[in-house]
Amino acid sequence: MSKTTFLIGGVRVSVDSPEEAILSRAKEKMKRAGISTSTLHFRLYKKSIDARRRDDVRFECTVLAEGDRPLGKIDAVRLLREDIRPFEEAKPQIERGTTRLEAPPMVVGMGPAGLFSALLLARNGYAPILIDRGASVEERVADVEKFRRDGILDTDSNVQFGAGGAGTFSDGKLITRVNDPLCHYILNTLVAFGAPEEILVKAKPHIGTDILRNVVSNILCEIERLGGQVIYHCKMTAIEHLSDQTLRITTTKGDLHCGALILALGHSARDTYRYLIEQQYAIEPKPISVGVRVEHLQSQIDQALYGKFAGHPNLGPAEYALSDTKGARGVYTFCMCPGGEVVAAASEEGHLVVNGMSCHARNNPNANAAVAVSIGCNDYESIDGSLALGAIQFQRTIERAAFVEGGGNYVAPIMTMGDFLNDRAGSSPTDVLPSYRSGMVCEADFGRIFPKFVTDSLKYGFGSFGKKLRGYDSPTAVLTAAETRTSAPLRILRNKETYTALGRERVYPCGEGAGYAGGITSAAVDGLRVAMALISVFAPQK
């Protein structure tokens, strides 16, 4: 029996409206389009906050209507007028290849790209080997806490490396600019493994690092249950193509044999990047962004965005996304964490990096976000004949300067917004208290950390954002340096049709670390598409 499904958009209601009222509005739109609702089931599909007018904050909703029988002739013009469209939920389309793999496929990296590619392979009988240089979720949480508390860094198990990748210690944000039909499949899969069902509805879904850890562990357990092998503390150090077209992978836990290799390295695998460049993989530098974390009181952000609706129980902590491209360089906010904290995100000794994180409740007093300045490839200097290595060095130079300016032991350099905008230094925070490592910070001068064009662009950006969001450039806001890992600084080139690395059959660059994604959802989607490409060529081992 044919199934009928529609998405009904443009359902605007007050923030006090119950779900029943939202569904009732959707039914009215369907009736106006000439469609009987008696055989249809309605449920909330998406819900976003429209705060363009602070005196009239509303919800903008999309409702899904589905039934088990065809509805007959439908007037397409009336559907369009009511913002109704036929809909079909996307899922991976599997086309199976016939070339038999002589050894299991291997996935390097347990971030979202690696997890979702390995999960799809496991579900289709390929029994993948999944490795990561870092630790399991439980061990990794302990390693990150030791670094936060004592400044003792494990360079292989930290905020960047280990089960779940860098996203595990962030906000678990699932917002993406990628308009891929598989995005909702990713959300459904995360819910199946323990994420809250609200992520299926919220226009800006987030899981929270506290819940995401369990989701990651559940996915890894499922991969093992389906015959896959998960190996922690296992760093890839070399790739050898054998005469039978299989690959020998040298790792810190010995040699491993695989029939195909997915490289889901993450954006901070700098030693692996260097190895691939030395092996003459086709790699090009990529524009990045660098900047600072800015902290405001969450109550201040709520008031600026929601006005009299600030604190409304149906709204939750306010979020923002700001950008300006009119200056000499683009400046934008990135990875905004309501009710969160600034975290220590270094992965190399003697280099200081910050990131943002929130738990599911988002109930800490501060809001934080990266404010980043666009960096182009012409800003890099070639290292050992490679501009891609120069991109990494650009990041490292800033991270090293931040470490030195903080005085060592991963104490973070900070400035108040007032000091930064007025070219002075030394003022202690007052209203907004820094959250990094429970206050392991020191007043500093960002002019000794960033190139002048970065600090100039940040000043311009803060002035612009203060006009768009009241109080954003408040002198009491706190800035923490340095945010440098907004994305991978290079791209491992691959064939657009086969997804394999140029000139390297059976090697599949994947996800954010290969330069093809930015964030949890888009990286997971890329992981799915790479796994689908592998499956379309190869059959599993006998």
**CATH code: domain of residue 263:** 3.50.50.60
Considering the domain architecture, whether residues 12 and 79 belong to the same structural domain is answered as: yes
Check: CB of residue 86 under 8 Å from CB of residue 111.
Answer: no
502's tokens: 């140029």
Nearest-angstrom CA–CA distance, 451 and 480: 16
Same domain, 36 and 63: yes
In a domain, 93, yes or no: no
Q: Tell me: do 274 and 298 sit in the same domain.
A: no
8 A C-beta contact, residue 85 and residue 78: no
Taking the C-alpha atoms of residue 532 and residue 527, their distance in angstroms, rounded to an integer, is 9
One domain for residues 387 and 339: yes
* Whether residue 495 is found in the same domain as residue 463: no
* pLDDT score of 1: 37
For residues 228 and 349, membership in a common domain is answered with no
**Do 278 and 341 sit in the same domain of this protein?**
no
Rounded Cα distance between 167 and 485, Å, is 12
In this structure, are residues 267 and 513 in contact, taking their beta carbons and an 8 Å threshold? yes
Checking if the pLDDT of 172 tops 70, the result is no
| Segment 106-116 mean pLDDT | 97
Answer with the one of 86, 118, 141 that is the final residue of a domain. Answer: 86
pLDDT (mean) for 327-333: 95
pLDDT of residue 530: 98
Q: Is residue 91 part of a domain?
A: no
Rounded CA gap, 282 and 469, in Å? 43
Q: Is residue 138 part of a domain?
A: yes
Q: What's residue 185's pLDDT? A: 94
Gap between the terminal Cα atoms of the chain: 37
Same structural domain, 303 and 367: yes
CA distance 434 to 428: 10
> 481: cis peptide before it, omega within 30°?
no
Residues 473-499 have a mean pLDDT of 97
Neighbours of 253 (CB within 10 A): 12
How buried is 195 (Cβ within 10 angstroms: 0-12 exposed, 13-18 middle, 19+ buried)?
A: buried
Nearest-CA neighbor of 311 among 340, 293, 338? 338
Cβ pair 288, 537 in contact under 8 A? no
Q: Are residues 334 and 269 part of one domain?
A: no
pLDDT(2) > 60: no
pLDDT digits (tens, 9 = 90+) for 263-273: 999 999 999 99
pLDDT tens digits along 69-95: 766 678 889 999 999 999 988 889 999
Give percent of the chain above pLDDT 90.
89
Q: Mean of the per-residue pLDDT values for the chain?
A: 95
Do 364 and 470 lie in one domain? The reply is: yes
The 8 Å CB, 24+ separation contacts for 139-144 are: 139/232, 140/164, 140/168, 141/213, 144/169, 144/343
What is the pTM assigned to this prediction? Answer: 0.94
- Per-residue pLDDT reduced to its tens digit, 352-387: 999 999 999 999 999 999 999 999 999 999 999 999
Is 94 contained in some domain? Answer: no
Number of neighbouring beta carbons within 10 Å of residue 31: 12
**Nearest C-alpha neighbor of 354 from the set 362, 363, 367, 345:** 345
Domain boundary among 86, 113, 129: 86
Is 90 exceeded by the pLDDT of residue 180? no
* 4 and 66 Cβ atoms separated by less than 8 Å: yes
Same domain, 320 and 187: no
Q: Which two tokens stand for residue 65?
A: 């209507």
pLDDT digits (tens, 9 = 90+) for 141-159: 999 999 999 999 999 999 9
261: containing domain: 99-284+491-539
Residue 163 lies in a domain: yes
Give the up-direction half-sphere exposure of residue 159: CA atoms within 13 A in the CB hemisphere.
Answer: 24
Task: Please give the tally of structural domains in the chain.
Answer: 3
In a domain, 279, yes or no: yes
Claim to verify: residue 472 and residue 499 sit in the same structural domain: no
- Whether the predicted pLDDT of 171 surpasses 80: no
At 178, is the pLDDT very low, low, confident or very high (cuts 50, 70, 90)?
low
Asked whether the predicted pLDDT for residue 193 surpasses 80, the reply is yes
* 259 assigned to some structural domain: yes
| CB proximity list for 499: less than 8 A, separation 6 or greater | 508, 509, 510, 529, 530, 533, 534
Q: What value does the mean pLDDT take over residues 241-247?
A: 95
